[in-house]
Amino acid sequence: MAYAIVISQPGGVEKLHRITIDPPEPKVGEVLIRHTAIGLNFIDVYFRTGAYPWPVERDLITGSEAAGVIEAVGEGVSLRVGQRVAYVTPNGAYATHRVISASLVVELPDDIPDELAAGSMLKGLTAHYLIHHSYPASVGETVLFHAAAGGVGLIAGQWLKARGVHTIGTAGGPQKCALAKDHGYEHAIDYRNEDFVARVMEITNGAGVAAVYDSVGKDTVSKSLKVLERFGTIVCFGQSSGPADDFKINDLAIGSLRLTRPTVFQHIARPGWLQQASSDLFKVISSGEVKIELGARFALEDVASAHVALEGRASTGSTVLVP
């Protein structure tokens, strides 16, 4: 029986509940996908708690990435029934089936398993725009990446290393730091026991870093500015510790710094970007330059437990939900 996990109002994990659904027939330009694996991301938490505004008036099916098999196609679609595909959207993935625009779907290569795709599409495409567009780090530059042992961080560390960039990561605890170093980071700072500002300046001999990639927010942004070199860039792409409400534009004046707040969905809206970025991602995975760290695996019906682990920073790598 087809079902979805929905939220009727913002709040804690107790707001997540199962409902039965009747998958609709795809319309012109759409496909019906039977999900085989669904990725878990912090954006799911932001929607669940109301930190991000809801796109609907009531029941919200959250979940932003998934992989599966096409079961039906609408008129004008070149994709075929039986093809393995994956996608990234703001919501709608916490379900056994869904209808989605074919323009948002990418076909999976034979050597990319469904669970790996579901655990890497959003995180991998996020890493892609961060290091190729938001701040395209150059060979020999040094950058700082917060939450280096998270899903995006582990991918970015390897990808940056492959591009010849020197990397410093922060993570919580010795095990996560070791994991980060195993995935490309030259230095890993345990933010629970070390002052990352002092440590970064020590590592760089006082020069600072060219860029900071920050998905933590409130706990890190003001300190991140202190480790940037003159004309450095801070890329804020999340707020796992809450929004950095104490930040002021004048704070950037300490080094004529630059700040950007990108999202993957703005990049996906660019014509041709999704197909090209996905192709780049699959190539570095297939070549072995980037290895996807699949972490915990939960049944879709147990998604509340998965949220608890994610919010408690008890997870590493990519968590996958299985319908």
**3-class SS of residue 38:** strand
By CB neighbour count within 10 A (0-12 exposed, 13-18 middle, 19+ buried), where does 75 fall?
exposed
Give the H or E element holding residue 84. strand 84-88
Residue 42: pLDDT over 90: no
In one-letter notation, the amino acid at residue 295 is G
Could you read off the pLDDT of 219-273 as tens digits, one per residue? 889 999 999 999 999 999 988 788 788 889 999 999 999 999 999 999 999 999 9
The per-residue pLDDT of the chain, averaged, comes to: 94
Pair type for strands 105-107 and 16-20: unpaired
Mean pLDDT, to the nearest integer, of 168-195? 96
**Using CA atoms, how far apart are residues 76 and 101, in angstroms rounded to an integer?**
11
Burial class (CB in 10 A: 0-12, 13-18, 19+), 25: exposed
Integer Cα distance of 308 and 86 in angstroms: 25
CB 213 within 8 Å of CB 144: yes
Among 89, 94, 86, 118, smallest CA distance to 3 is for: 94
SS3 at position 262: coil
pLDDT tens digits, one per residue of 66-101? 999 999 999 999 999 999 999 999 899 999 999 999
| Least trusted range by pLDDT, from 18-27, 52-61, 126-135, 302-311 | 52-61
